[in-house]
Structure 1
Amino acid sequence: MTLVLFLIVITLLVIAFAEPLGERIGVVAPVILLVVGAAAAYLPQVPEVFVEPEIILQLILPPLLFATAMRMPDHDFRRNLSAIFALAVLLVGVTSVCVGAAIHFLVPEIPLAYAIAVGAVVSPSDAVAVGIVRRAGVNRRIVAVLDGEGLINDASALVILGSSLLAARSHVTAGEVAASFLWAVVGAVLVGYCVGKVAMLLRRFLHHASSNTVLSLAIPFAAFLPAEEVGASGLVATVVAGLVVADAAARELHPATRISDNRTWDAVGLILESLVFVLMGLQMPHLINEATASGFTFAASLWVALAVWVVVLVVRCLAVAPLLGFLRRSTVRLRKRSVEDAAGGTSRKRTVRRLADGAYYAKKPLGVRAGGVIVWAGMRGAVTLAAAQTLPQDTPARGFLILVAFIVAAVSLVVQGGTLGWVVAVLKPGADEPSSPEEREWVRKQLDEAAAGIAVPPSLRHRLVSQGVSPAKVPHATLIDLARAGRELMAESPGEAGGVWEYAAERVSVQREALVRIREAGLIDAPDFDRELRIIDGEQLAVEALARDGSTGALR
């Protein structure tokens, strides 16, 4: 037990210092964690490590994907859904078949069905690339596409893996495989949506921020387990639940709860993601021993893995190229449809959303340079290793195939992850341009107009005017003005002072609702929404603190 606790402490220290060390030496943190884990595995004091795949697939991945979904702006996900679907579903399927054919060609004794199963194992990309491109300040649409791909492709790869193994052991038709895949997605969406809605309903009854955050820790597992029970994808259900919670959080959760959620899930995500790469390194000796027992040398495994890695990159490149053309044509069609909607009397809400989407695509285009970044950012990681270990024990050359999958993940992390920042600098896919001052001013105007619609209590109006606030500016009085008025009313008429905070709280509430409606219409970028929401949250917390204390000394 002492050794286990010591290893836990060392692991947490490595995780904590990997990110700042990586920034200092120019190496991504997962590569450092992978190397440290592999080096530690050969120390005589460290026992041989074998991690059951269920630990990663059922215990680590659900909260990890949920944390990513919580950070994903829902309108960015919607706007890039076609690209995300192409990369996370279609590309995964094509990659599985191409890699399977390559493995079967290089090692004929491995049946094609099992080879395709290994292709499914190495087909999903890892979300670790998102942090690299985000720090590089690239076009935020690239980040949204990579984020969305990482959310969905794990589940699609596991579904294809299961179908391939089923085909290897029994006779199934293409229709049965398609039906299984369709239910895995549709069933998961239904389960995830219901769990997300029920979770938000329950969270309304918890007014303590820490207790509410504890409840949120159960949501990914509450979505994963029932989805798996009905034969759907638990990971897709987890992602959908995360998107539902993220969409409703700004409107339904108290600011203190959202702050607690963000801090907790950031820490959970960092620990779990880093732990996966440490475990990958620690399992190196075990994987090499299994491959040797299968009758293949490490050199043979390395050669096949490098060939598979090249196939994965080539297929990804061939898929991204036509995708970019499709997205350009879709943007043109959207603009034409927006004009037709405006002329044909289509609902204003739909027209506004399409116009906003068109402006988003025009402002954040995906050209050839962006496509190059998307191709090179397709690194393999946690799911590849976990899924490889789910191969049945009687799989031909099982140890060899698992080691091949591990090497593909390791090489992609080291080579692509180590050079992705350089690739971004060379290709220059376009920086993420902030919104214009006019756009930000328009948002503030909408929020001010929403606040002006709240009736100002007569006693408060009189007090503000006596303080020098012009009658026209009374509905837009600052929090400091309201605090001073509340202090004076508290001294003269305590019964009327409470109305000041009720008015201030209602004003904050309608501004938040107006901000959410602007987001739903697609008229505000995610960074601007987050900034305005933080301002509104700060005002709400200040109003509540002043109302509790009955004092404004901090604002004097």
Structure 2
Amino acid sequence: AYDTSLRDLNRYRLPLFLLALGAVVFTTAAVALVGWTMAGLPIAAAIALGAIVAPPDAVAASAVLGQFKVPHRVTAILQGESLLNDATALLIYRMAVSATAGSILVSSAVPMILLSTVGSLAAGYVLGRLSLVTLSRIRDPASGTVVQFAGTFGVWILADRIGLSAIITIVVYAMTIARTAPRHMPARNRVSSYSVWETAVFVLNVLAFVLMGLQARSIVGRLAEQGQVGAFVFAAAVLAVVIVSRLVWVLGCGAIMRWLASFGDAERQAEAPSFRGGVLIGWCGMRGLVTLAAAFALPADFPGRDPIVLAAFSVVLGTLVLQGISLKPLLRLLRLDPDGTVDREVAQARVAIMQAALDVLSGKTSNAAAVVREQFAAQRTIAENPEDAQAATEYDRLRLYAIKSQRDALEQLRIDGTIGDEAYHRLEEEIDWSELAASPPGRFQPLTT
């Protein structure tokens, strides 16, 4: 949610609605039908299974798509879908689990959903604004990161305890912070927190797979030999239904949208989803942490819990292996047109911010101002000519070459005993920041030769 573009959410609101709501409900219904007819699950338990395996996770797909110049529309839709579909799936999941326990009535479901949604939107915004007051006053990176974690988990727990949608609350909370925090949070805190969050997400994903693997082993052990065969056949059937239902929904909706766009002007026709893009989006249906966590959270006495958990684990593992491995060959086969939308926006914005720096320095007459102006002018020249890769590469290489000499000299001073470790580490940090600033964006690599 923190990294999501509100502009893209608004621009692609129709396909996002069809995926985040329509595809989740369609997949849930298809899987529930299989669970009810094939495994004999109660209808509420079958719906819970459908909700567990319905929401895709864009993390695995993004890791592969990032290696290719795929259309920005595809990546924006996948990321936006992954953000919103969890709320739909978990809301259905909660209602199904409650219905199994006999604690919910159909007549009260719609008012509960509306109240939960509105309350979650309001709570997320208010809590996000309150969190900013605290974060803007913290200057220590470690303390700031701890407060971020405490705030995030605290908001989730609070929303869950008072009956709101924790997913929607967290999404709005993160978006509120993302739109206003950059002007109030120190750069050092932001860089540090990004690294910690990436590590935490990775560890949580690994932990979820470990826990689910341990549980799957015990489930298989509890099933009789004949029951094991049936459970594995059922899990394979659920996996097939999950993959096919997404492809059917995405390609079907895409065909309808192209047909409707054919009656519009040229701009509307250009915005219509392509068949090749639909195939890619339909195949990027890998399941991840939400599916694992939802299956793991089922009560111990839930009807059909063992086959449900085994099916969920099989869907996650099957989609990650089958779709994840085949995604790269599929991209080569589809031959999608390269998209430089983000690169063009970056180049345009880079020129604008360099010019803003030069404008604010134009009235300064000191020698220091002249040196800084010269540096920004050189960077603006490179930004204005992004096609001149040789000039940009030479500029970056010279800066990194000089920084390497600084690092060698600092190392020699410590070896000679001229400076101690405290002075060494303080200067090492300064050089590290210089190297990060001198490295091409998104391509930081220490210069070793």
TM tier, smaller: 0.7 to 0.9
Within 5 Å, which residues of 2 pair with 1:19-418? 69-108=1-40, 110-127=41-58, 128-170=60-102, 174-292=106-224, 297-325=227-255, 366-418=273-325
Structure 1 unmatched ranges of 5 or more: 1-68, 337-357, 470-475, 482-534, 536-548, 550-556
How high is the TM-score relative to the length of structure 1?
0.60
Instruction: State whether residues 373 and 429 of structure 1, in contact with CA within 8 Å, keep that contact through their aligned partners in structure 2.
Output: no
Change (3 A) 1:443 1:179: same
Give me the whole-angstrom Cα distance separating, in 2, the residues matched to 1:254 and 1:334: 48
Change (3 A) 1:233 1:288: same
1:461 aligns with 2:357: no
Task: Kindly provide the CA deviation profile for residues 288-332 of structure 1, in whole angstroms up to 9, marking residues without a partner as x.
Answer: 12444xx96221111112222222222212221243356658989
| Cα displacement (A) at 1:223 | 1.7
Task: Kindly provide the CA deviation profile for residues 386-420 of structure 1, in whole angstroms up to 9, marking residues without a partner as x.
Answer: 22233334433322222222222222222122212
Change (3 A) 1:464 1:390: closer
Change (3 A) 1:168 1:216: closer
How high is the TM-score relative to the length of structure 2?
0.73
Cα RMSD of the aligned pairs, angstroms, is 3.6
| Cα displacement (A) at 1:172 | 5.2
Q: Aligned pairs, how many?
A: 380
Give me the whole-angstrom Cα distance separating, in 2, the residues matched to 1:394 and 1:289: 17
Instruction: State whether residues 196 and 219 of structure 1, in contact with CA within 8 Å, keep that contact through their aligned partners in structure 2.
Output: no
Aligned to 1:529: none
Instruction: State whether residues 139 and 429 of structure 1, in contact with CA within 8 Å, keep that contact through their aligned partners in structure 2.
Output: yes
Give me the whole-angstrom Cα distance separating, in 1, the residues matched to 2:3 and 2:346: 22
Instruction: State whether residues 287 and 319 of structure 2, in contact with CA within 8 Å, keep that contact through their aligned partners in structure 1.
Output: yes
- 225-234 or 310-319, larger mean C-alpha shift: 310-319
Amino acid in the other structure paired with 2:333: V
Instruction: State whether residues 154 and 235 of structure 1, in contact with CA within 8 Å, keep that contact through their aligned partners in structure 2.
Output: yes
Amino acid in the other structure paired with 2:26: V
Give me the whole-angstrom Cα distance separating, in 2, the residues matched to 1:140 and 1:88: 18
| Cα displacement (A) at 1:378 | 0.7
| Cα displacement (A) at 1:169 | 3.9
Change (3 A) 1:296 1:250: farther
Task: Kindly provide the CA deviation profile for residues 114-165 of structure 1, in whole angstroms up to 9, marking residues without a partner as x.
Answer: 2111111111112322222223332232222222222222232221112123
Amino acid in the other structure paired with 1:301: A
Give me the whole-angstrom Cα distance separating, in 1, the residues matched to 2:153 and 2:343: 41
Change (3 A) 1:215 1:169: closer
Secondary structure of 2:29's counterpart equals: helix
Instruction: State whether residues 219 and 241 of structure 1, in contact with CA within 8 Å, keep that contact through their aligned partners in structure 2.
Output: no
Give me the whole-angstrom Cα distance separating, in 1, the residues matched to 2:112 and 2:226: 35
2:336 to 429, 440, 444: 429
Change (3 A) 1:166 1:194: same
- 168-177 or 261-270, larger mean C-alpha shift: 168-177
Instruction: State whether residues 72 and 342 of structure 2, in contact with CA within 8 Å, keep that contact through their aligned partners in structure 1.
Output: no
Amino acid in the other structure paired with 2:312: A
Secondary structure of 1:135's counterpart equals: coil
Give me the whole-angstrom Cα distance separating, in 2, the residues matched to 1:371 and 1:289: 41
Change (3 A) 1:129 1:183: farther
Give me the whole-angstrom Cα distance separating, in 2, the residues matched to 1:196 and 1:125: 26
